[in-house]
Structure formats: structure tokens, C-alpha cells
Structure 1
Amino acid sequence: MAATIQRAPERTRPRIGSHLFLMLLLAAFLFPVAWALLSSFKPADDIVRSPLTFDLSAFTLDNYTAMFQDVPIGQGFVNTAVVLLFKGAATMFLAPLAAFAFAKYQWIGKNLVFGAVLVTLMLPTIVLIIPLLLEMKELGWVNTYQALILPGAVDAFAIFWMRQVISAVPDELLDAARVDGCGEFAIFWRVVVPVIRPGLAGLGVLTVMNIYNDFVWPVVAASSERMATLQVVLSTLAQNITGNRIGADYATVTGELLAASSVALVPLLVLFILLQRHFINGILAGSVKG
């Protein structure tokens, strides 16, 4: 009887080349962020004179102190927080609700309406600015929270994404809820929403990032300093610094710009670090329709 020859299991060799490439790519992405954060704690003159060095003994908060005195960044944070709260809540509630109608109901013209929603994704933002601004002017909403919150509150991409996620929810769950006497909204709230939580988490992170980083529409709809969002405030930093401080040189402006950019970066960085697992799960949710 011939002896059975068993092959030893092959060892998985680490892909050194791939790992090295990913590490270099990570360093390339993180270096500008790390440089900006560290340089914001350097004296302004050192930032210009020796930008690639950092001396711990020269650590200072002067850039931050001067920036908070020269720039109304606090008001920008407040306005952005208000827009985030109300616009984000509208997106997180209305987009999944609309997606539920597209995914789980059959009605006349559904495909036509959904196609129209997708067409809006192809329109550049700049094309919609003038019509929206004229509409805000007619309503008397220029330089108000309404102008910052309502346009785009129900995002077409959010509807499309949540439709893909909700389509993966088994119809049997919905039918069982109907048999138990649940109404249609109760089915959405008590059955669908708990199942699509990973997708909602991913949508939440993207919604916060989009609203937080939005610049084009806020700079048009809220031109006054009182209603300026954080990104609008950041865009006018140099003008505010030179206007509030006589004789402010290039080094001073650069130091305060880095300080303001670091302050604006930290909330998003913390949010992504805390919710990165939910964000990844949310992207994968609904990618494979069962």
C-alpha cells in the first residue's frame, strides 16, 4: 500500500512590498497633518525660518492665543454646530425614510422619480448656486440659518445609499411586522432602523464631514460675519488677522493660520478615530444584497 504523502501547510509569507508601500502612503498622507499640528506650537518666526524642525524647548501657545483674539472662530464653530444639528438631523431622518419608500414599495412612477434623484447627483454644485440664491432672496432667508440648513437637507446621495442598504433587509421581516399589526411607519422605525444601524452610522459620519467641510454654499448664502460658518471664517483668516493687528507680518499670519487649521481639524479627527469601525461597517452594509 503506497504511503500517502502529505504536504506540509505552506506558510503565509508576509507581503513586505505591499506593507512597505502602504506605510509610505500612510506617511505621505499623515506628514502634512502632523507638520501643521506641530508647527502651530512653534514661535511664528521659527515656522518660516526652519519649517522642518521642532524644538520642544520652544513650545508655545502664542499662536493660539493671538488667533482667538484676532479671529471670530468661536462664532464660526457655533454656526457650524447649529447647521450640523438641524441639517444633519433632517438628513438622517428624511433620507432613510425616502429610501424606504424607494426600496420596499411599488408605486407608479417610482423608477422615474428615483432616476430624477440620481440625475441631481450629476449636476455640479456651482450650477445650482444662482437659482438657490435667488430663491433664498425671494424668501428673505439670505444670511439666516434657514438658508444654511434647508437647501440640501435631503441629500440625493444619502437617499441612494440608504436605498441600497434597506434593499438588503428581508421582506419577510416587514411582512411579519404587518401580521402583528404594525403600521408602516412603525415598521420603518421598529424593524428597519435597528437592522440598518451600520449603514446609518456610516451615513452619519459622511453627513457630519460634508456639512462641516462645506464652503461654497455657506460663503454665498451667509456673507455676513455674524452667520459665517467655520470654513468661511477660515477662508478669511489672513484678512482678519492683518485687519485686527497693525503690522502683522507673514510669520504671524502663518502661525495663526496653522493654529486655526489645527483647531478646525481636531473635531473631525477625533470623530473619525472614535467611529472608524462603524464607518467601515456602514460602507460595507448593503454592498452585498442577500
Structure 2
Amino acid sequence: MTRRIMLTSFLLVTVTVVLVPFYWLIVGSTRSTEEVFGSPPPLLPGAHLLDNLAKLESTIGFSRVVLNSALIATIYTLLAGLVCTMAGYGFAKHAFRGKEALFGLLMLGLVIPGQVTLVPLFKMMLSLDWLNTYQAIILPNLALPFGIFLMRQSMSALPDELLSAGRVDGCGELRLFVRVVLPPMRPALAALGIYLFLYQWNDFVWPLIALRTREAYTIPLAIAALQGANETDYGQILAGTAVAAIPMAILFLLLQRHFVSGLLAGAVKE
């Protein structure tokens, strides 16, 4: 009984620590800057949410920014999901010379900081005249090492006999991949999709370098641009952050079962 009480208390404290910043984000998004920094700080939502959203729209065209982020993140998720899934299938179920060495080289991307590649990547985009375009944001990270690793581990648990049966029935590799391999991988694909979408939705450093005009900005860049040198409207910033964070939190809560089961897929081999 004592152990259960201690565990419950620990979980309650942990949940409180995690949720309090989100609650303050919601409260702050409905307040003006003066109220945000008032003493004592406000604990209940205010009446300035619509004002803050209207200021966001007039200042940075926030609806266009949200559309930019949604379009980029959606296209990236679809393309990167296809690349990572096909690469994971190749590493898991096909034998070719140098496979282990190539996979080990790919996994170096998990430990090498992304900042190392920013300068050569910028020069590459400059030479292709792709700066300030969607493809400059979408294409460089399609072969995401973690995504390939996740799909490779999940597909390693797929029985080879299932693939052999498909080939005996006359399936070509493409049909085998679509009809036999992908259906059992739905939990892993859901986890991969959530990870890829959040990865691109929250990305800041590379879009900051590659995008030049405010018309092309994504949500993190637009919110950062609201911070002025002399004056900052924190009501706007908190409202924009809430618009960016709350839908993603709801998406994760709705799909968390698929996310967890997808991450655990292939973790235990029979």
C-alpha cells in the first residue's frame, strides 16, 4: 500500500510539472503583455485571445504561416515516410554486399550533430538556387536516420516465410512491398508519421537559414520574428505558440497508442 501511494504521488507530481507550463501557455495566450507580467500573475484565462490572434494576423499573416507549416510538414511526412520505409525494408529483408557497413555508416547520423551539416547544406541549396523554396526545407532530411532505423527494426520482426509465400504467388517486389509488407507495419508507420510530422513542424534552425522572406516563414520562424529589440508583445507570442502547440498535443494524445506500439514493434524477437 505504501509503495502504491508513493508511486501515485510521484506520478501526480510529474504530471503537474508537465501540465503547468501548458496551462500557463493557455492562460498567457488570453492575456495582454501587461497582464502576463502582472503581480500576482493571472491564474485564469482572460479576454484578449481574439485581440492577440488579430494582432498576429496583421503583424505576420499568421494564417499564411500556419498554412506554410502544415503544407511543408504534410509533404515532408509523406515523402520521408516513403523513403524511410523503403530503406528500412531494404536493410531488413534484402541481402547485398556491404549492407552492415552501410547501415552502420547511416547510423552515424544519429550521433553527429545536425549543425555540422548546415554550411555544406547551405552551399548545396545555394548552388541549386533552391533557397527560400519549399524543396530546400523538405528534401534534405528525407532519409532521416532514426526513421530508417525504426522501420528496419520493425520489419526485422516480419517473418521471412510471409515474403517467400508472396513471391511464390507471383508478387513482384513493388506489389510485395505494398500488399504484404506494409499492412502489418501500420503501428510502426503511425509512429513514424507522428515523429516525422512533429520533427518538421517544430524545426527552426534549418528553415531560419534557408528561408529569406516572411511570406515563406514557418510557425517557429514567425514566432521568433515577433521578438523585437525594444518591445515584445508576449501576448501575441503566447497565442501563436498555443496555436502551434495545442493541435500537435491533441494529435499525439489521439494517436499515442499507435505511437507507443509502433516504437515497441520489433523490440522483442520471438
TM over 0.5: yes
2:227 equivalent to 1:238: yes
| 8 A Cα contact 1:39 1:54, kept in partner | no
**Alpha-carbon distance in structure 1 between the residues aligned to 2:218 and 2:185:** 31
**Alpha-carbon distance in structure 2 between the residues aligned to 1:29 and 1:44:** 24
Q: Which residue matches 1:159?
A: 148
Distance change in 2, residues 1:94/1:27 (3 Å): same
Distance change in 2, residues 1:43/1:51 (3 Å): farther
2:263 equivalent to 1:283: yes
What's the TM-score once normalised by structure 1's chain length?
0.87
**Alpha-carbon distance in structure 2 between the residues aligned to 1:249 and 1:156:** 41
2:126 equivalent to 1:137: yes
**Alpha-carbon distance in structure 2 between the residues aligned to 1:41 and 1:34:** 11
Q: Which residue matches 1:6?
A: none
Aligned to 2:268, the other structure's residue is in SS state coil
Which of 83, 89, 103 is residue 94 of structure 1 equivalent to?
Answer: 83
1:286, distance to aligned residue in structure 2 (A): 1.2
2:150 equivalent to 1:168: no
**Which segments of 5 or more consecutive residues in structure 1 lack a partner in the other structure?**
1-11, 243-247
Q: Which residue matches 1:103?
A: 92
After superposition, what is the alpha-carbon deviation per residue over 1:56-105, rounded to whole angstroms, capped at 9, x for unaligned? Answer: 6x533322222222223222212212211221111111111111111111
Q: Which residue matches 2:242?
A: 262
The amino acid of 1:60's aligned partner reads H
1:51, distance to aligned residue in structure 2 (A): 5.5
Give runs of aligned pairs for residues 4-43 of structure 1, distance below 5 A: 15-43=4-32
2:178 equivalent to 1:209: no
**Alpha-carbon distance in structure 1 between the residues aligned to 2:105 and 2:134:** 28
**Alpha-carbon distance in structure 2 between the residues aligned to 1:184 and 1:83:** 30
| 8 A Cα contact 1:72 1:233, kept in partner | no
**Alpha-carbon distance in structure 2 between the residues aligned to 1:268 and 1:68:** 20
Which of 97, 100, 112 is residue 101 of structure 2 equivalent to?
Answer: 112
1:166, distance to aligned residue in structure 2 (A): 0.1
Which of 187, 202, 207 is residue 198 of structure 1 equivalent to?
Answer: 187
Distance change in 2, residues 1:214/1:100 (3 Å): same
Q: Which residue matches 2:36?
A: 47
Larger mean CA deviation between 224-233 and 22-31 belongs to 224-233
Distance change in 2, residues 1:55/1:30 (3 Å): closer
| 8 A Cα contact 2:125 2:131, kept in partner | yes
Q: Which residue matches 2:48?
A: 60
Larger mean CA deviation between 267-276 and 135-144 belongs to 267-276
Q: Which residue matches 1:188?
A: 177
**Alpha-carbon distance in structure 1 between the residues aligned to 2:41 and 2:22:** 13
Identity %: 37
| 8 A Cα contact 2:74 2:197, kept in partner | no
Q: Which has the larger radius of gyration?
A: 1
The amino acid of 2:135's aligned partner reads Q
Q: Which residue matches 1:218?
A: 207
1:109, distance to aligned residue in structure 2 (A): 1.1
What's the TM-score once normalised by structure 2's chain length?
0.94
Distance change in 2, residues 1:82/1:51 (3 Å): farther
Q: Which residue matches 2:66?
A: 77
Distance change in 2, residues 1:55/1:165 (3 Å): closer
**Alpha-carbon distance in structure 1 between the residues aligned to 2:121 and 2:40:** 43
The amino acid of 2:13's aligned partner reads L
**Which segments of 5 or more consecutive residues in structure 2 lack a partner in the other structure?**
none
